[in-house]
Amino acid sequence: MSEIFNLVKRYPWLPSLKKYYPNKALKGPIDFINEVFSSDNGNKIKERILEFFKASFNKIEDFSFFMDDEINIDFYLVIKIFLSILNNKQIANKIAELYSKITYKSLNKDINSDFNLYYIYKDLNFDIVYSEEPVIYKKIKVKDQGLNLRTKFRIHFIDYLKLASNLRDNYRKLVNNSLNNGYVFIQPDDLNRLIQEYVRIKFLNQINIEDLREELLKNQIFRDLYEKISEKWEEKKEEFEYSFEMGFRKDQDLSKYLPPCIQEILAKIKEGQNLIHTERLFIVWFLNALKYPEEDIINLFSTLPDFDRDRTGYQVRYAIKKGYTPYSCKTLKSYTLCMAKKYKDELCIKGYFSKKYDEQKKISHPLFYVQFTQFVSTMKKKIEESNQKSNNE
């Protein structure tokens, strides 16, 4: 029994939190916040939440500050209350993204504990079939070697579709998976990736408790945390204002928005030049961040001299699964992969004028370059359209 208490403590988004920790899960937000921040752990929880928000605003995926210890449930519930009163979709998305990635990593630590995984899947009410002996469901080739894929888990296709519908990777499509009597054979880490998505969405579906904000802010520690996070967000939000349109769309050509460091790698690929390992990782993470379909990323490498579809497919999927954000400008400069000077790119060399800070700011991330150039181009188009409209009137 204590095993289940521990498991729920580690994964407080599990529905059975209400059963095993009703004193926390069923408490009203005001009583809960007052209790948490008057406890001995109050300041510890506050600091951890602050670190967490800072990491998500800075797109840092170093999870070393995260611990599934005795304050984990409070940490999770306070964040949920926080998002409910902030009622800010951009922040909620960032928190959901980071928390769900941490969840995926933690779940994968349990990959060899069938009991834990089975409990989690069942608690989430998934229709799962478990076999004590792994079942062979597919044969594949890796590096010219035949490999049998085996698993102990199968999930009903209806549950599978519900969970996988937001994920765009080709290999997750139902038609690309092995089924038996309506159940999809699935590896635990793939199932965990689906749970990551479940947790992400859970963070986006907050109950609106904005009317409780004033009452909650009467708690001094909670108020202090609220002010610090709001302050951090004010500093950072400008960077995200341009992010509204970023992402792959079949009908849109993103090439004109790509920074020189990426253009250089794409030019090399086009010419069939070999890429060093760092360039390969960078381009995969970068295009993945722009939501390029996995197959398109694999196809991109087809001109390279050492191209092998199976091996590249495996490597690309592996790199994507790792879930890293692409290198920043600082890192690219240290690898001598920054091509700002070679391409005489004004935005990269001079930066952009920030109205908010009334000063010139440097580009710090290639993804920001895409966001910014897309934003500027959309704004220009809008102005042109509005001028055209007034000329016609």
Site of interaction with ligand SF4 (CB under 6 A): 259-261, 329, 332, 338-340, 348, 363, 366, 369
* Least distance to ligand SF4, CB of residue 283, Å: 12
Which residue, among 128, 176, 135, has the nearest Cα to 154 in the 3D structure?
Answer: 128
Distances in whole angstroms, Cα of residue 133 to Cα of each of 109, 114, 153, 300, 356: 21, 11, 10, 39, 61
Nearer to ligand SF4, 32 or 369 (CB): 369
* Least distance to ligand SF4, CB of residue 340, Å: 4
* Least distance to ligand SF4, CB of residue 332, Å: 4
Nearer to ligand SF4, 233 or 343 (CB): 343
Beta-carbon neighbour count of residue 78 at 10 Å? 22
Nearer to ligand SF4, 341 or 356 (CB): 341
Nearer to ligand SF4, 96 or 338 (CB): 338
* Least distance to ligand SF4, CB of residue 351, Å: 9
Which residue, among 226, 222, 230, 209, has the nearest Cα to 33 in the 3D structure?
Answer: 222
CA 356 to chain centre: 28
Judge residue 184's burial from the number of C-beta atoms within 10 Å of its C-beta, 0-12 exposed, 13-18 middle, 19 or more buried: buried
Nearer to ligand SF4, 29 or 259 (CB): 259
Contact present, 118 and 128 (Cβ < 8 Å): yes
* Least distance to ligand SF4, CB of residue 341, Å: 9
* Least distance to ligand SF4, CB of residue 282, Å: 10
Start-to-end CA distance of the chain, whole Å, equals 75
In the chain, where do the E strands start and end?
A: 128-142, 145-156, 179-180, 183-186, 352-354, 359-361
Distance, CA of 305 to CA of 17 (rounded, Å): 53
Nearer to ligand SF4, 109 or 342 (CB): 342
